[in-house]
Amino acid sequence: MGDDQPIQPARKGGGIFGLLWWVGIGLTVYVLSTGPVVRYCSQQGKRALPGWAITFYMPLIFLSDNVKPVAHFMEWYVGLWEPDRKK
């Protein structure tokens, strides 16, 4: 009752750190979504990804073709989802 401090409005948004957080979450989900897509296509009897998947994952395909650590990670990760895959 005797508090003379003004009430500050609640802060909205997270600023740059909130933005970076959500961009990081989005990129993580994007990369990790490759495994389920490969498994789904494999279960449908397809040996190759459909055109929409190739278009959607083109940045990852490009990185895998040009950056050896990315290629190793993707081979390992996709192998978790499709263990009987032939290299």
State pLDDT tens for residues 5-21.
Answer: 777 766 666 789 999 99
Domain boundaries, the chain: 48-87
The Cα 61–Cα 56 span in angstroms is: 10
> 32: Cβ–Cβ under 8 A, 6 or more apart, which residues?
77
Angle between helical axes of 68-81 and 34-43 (0-180°, round to 10): 50
pLDDT per position as a tens digit, 26-83: 999 999 999 999 999 888 888 788 999 999 999 999 999 999 999 999 999 999 998 7
- Indicate the DSSP class of residue 83: T
Contact 64, 70 (CB under 8 A): yes
User: Phi first, then psi: what are they for 75, rounded to 5°?
Assistant: -60, -45
